[in-house]
Amino acid sequence: MSAAGKSACVAWAPGRVNLIGEHTDYSGGLVLPVAIQLGISLDVASVADDVLLVSERFGAAAPFAADGGGPLGTGWARYAQAVAVELDLLGRAPVGLTGTLASDLPTGAGLSSSAALEVAVGLALCAVAQFELEPLQLALACQRAELRAVGVPCGILDQAASLLAQEGHALLLDCGTLDHRLVEIPAAAALVVVDSGVERSHETSGYALRRQELEAGMPSRVRHVATENERVRAFAAAFARGDLEVAGRALFESHASLRDDYEVSIPELDLLVELAEASGALGARLLGGGFGGAILALTELDRAEQLATSIAAAYRERTGRGGDWFVPVASAGAGIRH
């Protein structure tokens, strides 16, 4: 602790909601995420020789060397250790830290908790070593860390959204060129996320297989990516002119393509989208990589809570589980708070 008894710094990294552009990032396509008000913070108490992390939710992790060396961690600690390795490869001095992780971001719901963890740890490790990286450089390092940690060949979407997003805006990102620009969220628009109660993990789902099928040129997978990129363009243009109906139709079309061409939906997500449409949502689709998690629905600002409660109640009545919901707010990206 510092002399005043306060934290040395706090690294904050938000989760994200990807408005549209699913399974397009790892093929160099277009995505349109927002950072949200929920996320992960790393309260750094002191500089140390090794990295000693404690999660308020999951307990202490085994210490590892400041350069990421030592026995491989398990669980969430794998991500933190892999970030240390990737930063070491970029030339970060081997400075460790002690710190406490806190999160209000649900795991397994498609809100990118793993990327938020990577970004928070990466920001903190850079801060204590006075090692400067551009946001995109750090995002790429965290993307590589996820592959190193759990073998998931993810794209840059989640980490870039956490680091580059700005309040009140979505981030239109070309994952091939890394060109990006901000798209303002219409004042009349609201987003609703409703959870299916089916937890999923990219490690154990068909995520990696879908990428292999895409790279092998499987027509239905290629068709999804091509049409999804067009939907991202249409959605961004509709938001820019405040046309929520056109944006909503793109969401319904996105879900149909993810269900039929990419085959990453499950009956629970299909049911939630059907209930969203029946409850008056302007559009809805599965959120994240699929195989579980939540859906995203678009509605007018003054109908958000009504829509959410209607979908949730109907879903619980039909399935007896899930139905947790929240209204995400497009928020600022990650950073260090002293």
Asked if 305 contacts 327 with a C-beta cutoff of 8 angstroms, the reply is yes
Q: Specify whether 179 is catalytic.
A: no
- What DSSP assignment string belongs to 209-274? HHHHHHHTT-HHHHHHHHHHHHHHHHHHHHHHTT-HHHHHHHHHHHHHHHHHTS----HHHHHHHH
Strands in 116-186 per DSSP E: 169-174, 180-184
CA pair distance 35, 22, nearest whole angstrom:
16
CA pair distance 308, 324, nearest whole angstrom:
9
Note the residue count of the chain: 338
Asked if 70 contacts 52 with a C-beta cutoff of 8 angstroms, the reply is no
Residues 6+ apart with CB under 8 A from 2: 8
Eight-state DSSP code of residue 106: P
Residues 88, 158, 195, 261: which is the catalytic one?
A: 158
Give the three-class secondary structure for 90: coil
Q: Tell me the catalytic residues.
A: 158
